[in-house]
């Protein structure tokens, strides 16, 4: 940070370039383009890929809001699909029924711990000549047959929000791709539609979405600890699994083993629980933080009412929205603290709440 202040280059400077280069080596991407946040990364990725007015993009209805809002921001229409109840990602069997002549892309989300079923999604996309644009915001260090998340389709994104597996001390995001045209467009879009070497010549109306060098400096340091922190998360998840295995009211995470050998990273330890909201309130009273993922599926959001979806249209997503809750999960968590969380969950159900 001192070096950045001394040099006076605070955005899209040397630290950002160093981070992009390090992530290109780590992920195997030909192009990593750092931007201000992952929501911007999604919007920039879509625009760089040519998604715009009149197009439709198939997205899961159970995800963070930006998964759908980014499609709306570029003038396209989000088409919601139900989720796989195990992985919480796009249900490949539901995608095909949503494809129309306007469909331009499928956007799977790799949610919580594991990749979507990319082999099945890619097969459908190839058969219908569709792009695959990955919301891989949570999927740092998730690989499938040697390919990093975000490179299994045409392009993807990474989020560096502070709670993420690799988090900054503020906002930050990344577009990654092996497609040279998408990369060139993304680099232009992040700085008002201009090329870095020809300022004040704007090829398109872009955005002000440069990454701060201070965020890049933090990420470069934290990047050196990423693998040991991922291993620590896996250990803590195993402790939770053991501590909650005998509760019939709770479903612990299931990692789906697939032929494509996708690997898991415990960004979130998500359970499904009976009387979820009462449990969350009970744990809060004990000083234990939780997070509800996601209480309102995207197809029920007021801003998408004009799309004509109704409650009951997406049963798997709606069930998850009523039952899913994230428990504390971060590398500095101790085994004793995990045991304490599990004891209070046992106490809640044994005492009737």
SS (H, E, C) the chain: CHHHHHHCCCECCHHHHHHHHHHHHHHCCCEEEEECCHHHHHHHHHHHCCCCCCCEEEEECCCCCHHHHHHHHCCCEEEEECECCCCCCECHHHHHHHCCCCEEEECCECCCCCCCCHHHHHHHHHHCCCEEEEECCCCCCCEECCEECCCCCCEEEEECCCCCCCCCCCCCEEEEECCHHHHHHHHHHCECCEECCEEEEECCCCCECCCEHHHHHHHHHHHCCHHHHHHHHHHHHHHHHHHHCCCCCEECCCCCCCCCCECCCCCCEEEEECCHHHHHHHHHHCCCCCEECCCCCHHHCHHHHHHCCCCCCCHHHHHHHHHEEEECCCCCCCHHHHHHHHHHHHHHHHCCC
Distance CA 297, CA 62 (A): 5
Distance CA 178, CA 176 (A): 7
CATH 3.90.1150.10: which residues of the chain? 226-350
pLDDT score of 103: 98
CATH 3.40.640.10: which residues of the chain? 2-223
The mean pLDDT of 91-105, rounded to a whole number, is 94
pLDDT score of 261: 60
Of 249, 72, 242, 70, nearest to 156 (Cα)? 70
Does 260 have pLDDT greater than 80? no
* 226, 165 Cβ separation under 8 angstroms: yes
Question: How many C-beta neighbours within 10 Å does residue 97 have?
Answer: 7
Of 238, 163, 196, 243, nearest to 12 (Cα)? 196
Distance CA 163, CA 171 (A): 10
Class of domain 2-223: alpha beta
202 CB-near residues (< 8 Å, 6+ apart): 192, 193, 194
Of 276, 264, 274, nearest to 237 (Cα)? 264
Distance CA 341, CA 175 (A): 36
The mean pLDDT of 73-100, rounded to a whole number, is 95
pLDDT digits (tens, 9 = 90+) for 117-167: 999 999 999 999 999 999 999 999 999 989 999 999 999 999 999 999 999
Number of C-alpha atoms within 13 angstroms, CB side, residue 176? 31
pLDDT digits (tens, 9 = 90+) for 201-250: 999 999 999 999 999 999 999 999 999 999 999 999 999 999 999 999 99
Does 258 have pLDDT greater than 90? no
CATH 3.90.1150.10 fits 226-350, yes or no: yes
pLDDT score of 259: 59
pLDDT digits (tens, 9 = 90+) for 268-310: 999 999 999 999 999 999 999 999 999 999 999 999 999 999 9
Task: Please provide the distance, in angstroms rounded to a whole number, between the alpha carbons at the two ends of the chain.
Answer: 48
Encode 127-137: b = buried (16+ Cβ within 10 Å), e = exposed.
Answer: eeebbbbbbbb
């Amino acid at each position: 940070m001192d070096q950045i202040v001394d040099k006076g280059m605070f955005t899209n400077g040397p630290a950002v370039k160093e981070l992009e280069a390090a992530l290109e080596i780590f992920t195997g991407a030909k192009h990593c383009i750092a931007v201000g946040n992952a929501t911007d990364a999604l919007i920039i990725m879509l625009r760089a890929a040519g998604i715009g007015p009149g197009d439709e993009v198939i997205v899961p209805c159970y995800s963070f809001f930006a998964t759908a809002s980014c499609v709306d921001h570029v003038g396209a229409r989000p088409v919601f699909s139900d989720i796989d109840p195990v992985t919480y990602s796009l249900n490949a069997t539901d995608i095909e029924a949503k494809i129309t002549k306007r469909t331009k892309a499928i956007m799977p989300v790799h949610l919580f711990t594991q990749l979507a079923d990319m082999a099945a999604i890619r097969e459908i996309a190839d058969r219908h000549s569709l792009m695959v644009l990955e919301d891989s915001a949570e999927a740092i260090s998730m690989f499938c047959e040697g390919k990093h998340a975000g490179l299994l389709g045409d392009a993807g994104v990474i989020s560096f929000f502070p709670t993420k597996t690799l988090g900054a001390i503020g906002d930050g995001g990344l577009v990654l791709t092996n497609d040279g045209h998408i990369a060139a467009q993304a680099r232009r879009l992040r700085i008002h539609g201009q090329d870095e070497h020809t300022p004040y010549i704007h090829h398109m109306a872009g955005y002000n979405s440069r990454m701060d060098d201070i965020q890049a400096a933090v990420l470069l340091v934290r990047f050196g600890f990423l693998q040991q922190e991922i291993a620590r998360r896996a250990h803590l998840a195993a402790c939770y699994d053991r501590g909650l295995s005998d509760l019939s009211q709770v479903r612990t995470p299931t990692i789906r083993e697939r032929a494509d050998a996708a690997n898991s990273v415990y960004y979130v330890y998500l359970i499904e629980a009976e009387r979820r909201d009462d449990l969350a309130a009970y744990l809060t009273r004990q000083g234990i933080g939780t997070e509800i993922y996601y209480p309102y599926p995207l197809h029920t959001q007021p801003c998408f009412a004009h799309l004509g979806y109704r409650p009951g249209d997406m049963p798997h997503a709606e069930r998850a929205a009523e039952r899913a809750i994230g428990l504390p999960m971060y590398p500095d968590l101790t085994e004793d603290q995990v045991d304490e969380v599990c004891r209070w969950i046992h106490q809640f159900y044994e005492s009737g709440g």
